[in-house]
Amino acid sequence: MEHSTGEEKLRVSLIGLGSMGTAMAHRLLDQGFDLDIWNRSPKEIGDLLDKGARKVELKQALQNDFVVSMLSNDAAALDVFSDENLANAKPGVVHLNMSTLSTDASRELASRHARHNVGYVASPVLGRPMAITNGKLLIVAAGDPHAIEKAKIVFEKVSAQHWNVGSDHTKSILVKLGVNYNLIHALQAIGESVALVESGGVDPNTFIEIITHTAFTGSAYTGYGPMIVNRNYTPPGFSVALGLKDVKLVEDAAAELNLKLPVASVLHQLFETALHDPELKDLDWSAIAELTRQRKL
């Protein structure tokens, strides 16, 4: 352990340095944690090293009291947290998995961690990178109550609020998927409404000002509304590809629960279309609004 002003600091590992992971790395450092970082592929991390982060190998990253992961999909998470790698982890370490994964992957990861006496908390996050750095991130946690209680020292430093939704690891995943599914509806609703009024000659900025004044004051509308109106889709905070991934995860979770979501197939097709459009595929996921505005449907 390193020391600062005579007090022992908690050293945390962060695995996964995409846009969300990088923002989380900065937040952890800003909140006074000592930080070890590991990424699956080479990445420029000079700014993090300058702030005091330490680049380590995966085996070393699994030796701290807490490991935070923010990986892009099931395959990446299952590869990194394999039985072989977990066998080398420090006994009693708690893994805070902040990625959005499938319910199946979360179950498999929970089983693997249990086999190797490694704590596991499925703790997907709600918010974009800016929410992390601004301290406005929300966390939904599920898993062993003792592990969640232990993790409060991290959760309370990096988020505005966190919720414990139970010991079943899939419950937090379902909450995250439900939130994202609602948000995807909002993106498409904004896009369709903007296309409607814009086609009729109404200033879309005025329209967004009107609907966000009282009726829709949440961050989805106040944040994404101006982005859609002004076609401010780059750099992407959340990609079209990840949007499609989330819709697929929602569909899979619904099927597992024998639940029919009538609009899911429509939203799936929208993201598929955007992902195959060379003008839209690399933009923020809110760019699905352009399919309606540009009459590409």
DSSP three-state, residue 238: coil
Residue type, 156: E
- Nearest 5°: phi and psi at 137? -65, 150
**What pLDDT was estimated at residue 100?**
95
- Nearest 5°: phi and psi at 133? -70, -25
Per-residue pLDDT tens over the stretch 50-92: 999 999 999 999 999 999 999 999 999 999 999 999 999 998 8
- Structure tokens belonging to residue 272: 């598929």
Residue appearing with tokens 């330490």: 54
**What pLDDT was estimated at residue 8?**
67
Q: Report the phi/psi class of residue 168: left, alpha or beta, with left for phi > 0 and alpha for psi in -120 to 50.
A: beta
DSSP classification of residue 12: E
Distances (CA, A) of 200 to 127, 197, 203, 207: 34, 5, 9, 12
Does position 297 have pLDDT exceeding 90, yes or no?
no
Per-residue pLDDT tens over the stretch 222-274: 999 999 999 999 999 889 999 999 999 999 999 999 999 999 999 999 999 99
- More confident of the two residues 4 and 198: 198
**What pLDDT was estimated at residue 14?**
98
Does position 6 have pLDDT exceeding 60, yes or no?
no
Q: What is the pTM for the complete model shown?
A: 0.91
The residues, any chain, with a CB within 8 Å of residue 295's CB and separated by 6 or more, are none
Whether omega before 235 lies within 30 degrees of 0, making that bond cis, reads: yes
- Structure tokens belonging to residue 206: 């005025």
- Nearest 5°: phi and psi at 10? -80, 130
Q: What share of the chain is helix, strand, coil (3-state, %, to 5)?
A: 50, 15, 35
DSSP three-state, residue 268: helix
- Structure tokens belonging to residue 224: 């994404």
Residue appearing with tokens 């509806």: 185
